[in-house]
Structure 1
Amino acid sequence: MNLIHQALVFDSAAAFLAAAVPFVTEGVHRGDTVLAITSAANEELLREHIGGTAEHVTFLSAVDWFDSPGRTLDAHHRRIDALPGTTGILRVLSEPVWEGRDPLETSEWGRYESVLNVALADARAWLMCGYSSRSLPTAIVDDARRTHPALAVGAQSEASIAYADPASYYAEHNGPLLPRPGEGVERLADFADMAPVRQFVADHATRLGVPAERLADFALAVNEVATNAVRHGAGHGDARLWATDRRVICEITDPGRATDNFLGFLRADPGGGQGHGLWIARQICDLLEMRTGSGGTTVRLHIRRSS
């Protein structure tokens, strides 16, 4: 089978259960791998209504699962890769986490929901994503209808008339990179090899707020992106590093132009020699933004600051 990606828009516990219970119980009876990644309240409801079937469902924390778009996408791949046999599928009942997201995070998680339709297009997976119309902003619920090809209505499925082509949706979200850096920006101009880039990160990242335990990984992600800038740009690039109230940002720019769509969201061929750098960087970073055009390419790598 190919990917089934549904939005479950619900306004009550009854509406949630009408779709969630048959989705989960059918999966268990078929021998599928079933994950439930919902709010605590809806997990309790689901457990109550499926009884002993819950023993065959893997319940996970939504906050942990929806940690960063790149890592969540990779988590889907790893679960799909681990499927036993050739007939079972991965069924994921989830509620993406929107509370506490700032506008950039909200935009990038919307992009993630849309890109799933391309990244997992041929996967043995059925994803049912819950959206509470009572608690979520209307804009997020409306956007769910644009990022999911199908809507779950009870035990049935219907096409979403608002569904947007992922390439078009992706392009809509490629607006200007904001916020623009203010005071306190560190800059490494015109690098052509990686040693100065790694030293640049080591000199400034922790002081700006990168957690010490994540410094090595952050340096690796920056190194991967900077390497791409040198290899595929004009042989050199610039780096800037600064902090906002929530994140530390490293921006890499080069005069080259990238041509691939969904940059860094599509898992590279393990046997191929290219395309791994951005994928790795997306796994490490909490957010990664990329813009490319006739004026060159800019990549922003975000990592949450120490609390």
Structure 2
Amino acid sequence: MTTAPVGPPDVFDHRMAECATDPAFLAAALPFLEEGLAAPDEPPPVAIAAPDKLDLLRDALGGTAARVGMVPHTDWYTGSASNAVARAAGHLAAHAGPGGRLHLLMEPVWQGRAGRSPRESAEWIRYEALANLLFAPLSTTALCVYDTRTAGRAVVEAARRAHPGSGVYTEPARLAAELDAVPLPPPPPAAERLARPDVGAVRAWAERQGLAEADAELFGTAVGEAAALGGVTGALLWGEAPGCVCELALARRVDDPLAGFVPPAGTDLEPGQGLWYARQVCAYVDLRPADGGGTAVRLQYA
């Protein structure tokens, strides 16, 4: 099953293809890539998929394959879902045509990080949902490939809700809120308390927990960037390397589902980018409502 194009041609077109066999994959991928090759004012389409699927495309396309960008998905999806946002935004900024025009065929690594746990899979479904908002101003056309041999039925069913035209599409903020409704494990009783998240104190604590100096520096800086949201009333620290955790208590509510997902103007990752920096550095950054109208911001390094 492949969802049909939705909306006018000058907005983000977010499609989904489900397949369970190699012929079904080709039946979805080939027309999409041919559409991209024929699109005016566009650079050649790019296929980001498992190496065996790229081989199938090369064989099926023949001489035309040289006109299609081919990227093994393990080279594209090298980190967290937030890192994938940065990779896509950077690629579009550097290589897309006017208005972000480009056809991208995309297959996350469901046999790797994206599918290693329900929590990790939920992060990737969040990425799929928020992509509808993040890339809405662009004229990019994306076909997200879900192979049920690797993605699994539960993941595919959840992904349908993140793709317009699927028949079960759910508004992105609502879907993100549902994902956030799954409770996080409570902090352990032995968690260390800090009155304020001093970067140096967090860095020193992380080193004591076993993080290498460079990683501890990144984690401490990420906590400081998250604290820039303002209104921090305290912090808790727990865990051992590499899974060091810091939870900040904010006196104010942060309701924006895109908080920390919108790419900054520059392409380089650097302090001063707030929650974006924190999401790029940490494996997980969770914002949850807290008692009294506040927000709990939990950062887990790995």
Superposition TM-score tier, normalisation by shorter sequence: 0.7 to 0.9
Cα distance change, pair 114–87 in 1 and its aligned pair in 2 (3 A): closer
For the pair 1:37 / 2:48, whether they are aligned, the reply is yes
Equivalent residue, structure 1, for 2:108? 96
Q: CA deviation at 1:242?
A: 2.0
For the pair 1:241 / 2:256, whether they are aligned, the reply is no
Question: How many angstroms apart in 1 are the aligned matches of 2:217 and 2:241?
Answer: 22
Equivalent residue, structure 1, for 2:185? 179
Equivalent residue, structure 2, for 1:153? none
Q: CA deviation at 1:165?
A: 0.9
Equivalent residue, structure 1, for 2:80? 68
Question: How many angstroms apart in 1 are the aligned matches of 2:87 and 2:300?
Answer: 20
Q: How does 1:81-160 map to 2 (within 5 A)?
A: 81-83=93-95, 85-86=97-98, 89-99=101-111, 100-149=115-164, 159-160=165-166
Query: Which moved further from structure 2: 201-210 or 126-135?
Result: 201-210
More strand by share: 1
Cα distance change, pair 51–146 in 1 and its aligned pair in 2 (3 A): same
Question: How many angstroms apart in 1 are the aligned matches of 2:259 and 2:284?
Answer: 13
Equivalent residue, structure 1, for 2:7? none
Taking structure 1 as the reference length, the TM-score comes to 0.82
Asked if the contact 1:80/1:123 (under 8 Å) is kept, the reply is: no
Equivalent residue, structure 2, for 1:152? none
Cα distance change, pair 170–56 in 1 and its aligned pair in 2 (3 A): same
Q: Tell me the percent identity.
A: 36
Q: CA deviation at 1:222?
A: 0.9
Query: Which moved further from structure 2: 81-90 or 216-225?
Result: 81-90
Equivalent residue, structure 2, for 1:218? 219
Q: Given the alignment, which residue of 252, 277, 280 partners 1:280?
A: 277
Q: Deviations over 1:111-147 (max 9, x none)?
A: 1110000111111211111111233321111111111
Q: How does 1:7-26 map to 2 (within 5 A)?
A: 7-26=16-35
Q: Which has the higher contact order (CA 8 A, sep 6+)?
A: 1
Question: How many angstroms apart in 2 are the aligned matches of 1:88 and 1:118?
Answer: 14
Cα distance change, pair 212–44 in 1 and its aligned pair in 2 (3 A): farther
Asked if the contact 1:114/1:170 (under 8 Å) is kept, the reply is: yes
SS of residue matched to 1:222: helix
SS of residue matched to 2:244: strand
Q: Given the alignment, which residue of 246, 250, 263 partners 2:246?
A: 250
Q: CA deviation at 1:55?
A: 2.4
Equivalent residue, structure 2, for 1:206? 207
Question: How many angstroms apart in 1 are the aligned matches of 2:251 and 2:38?
Answer: 55
The aligned amino acid for 1:79 is H
Structure 2: 5+ residue stretches without partners? 1-9, 267-271
Taking structure 2 as the reference length, the TM-score comes to 0.83
Q: CA deviation at 1:43?
A: 1.4
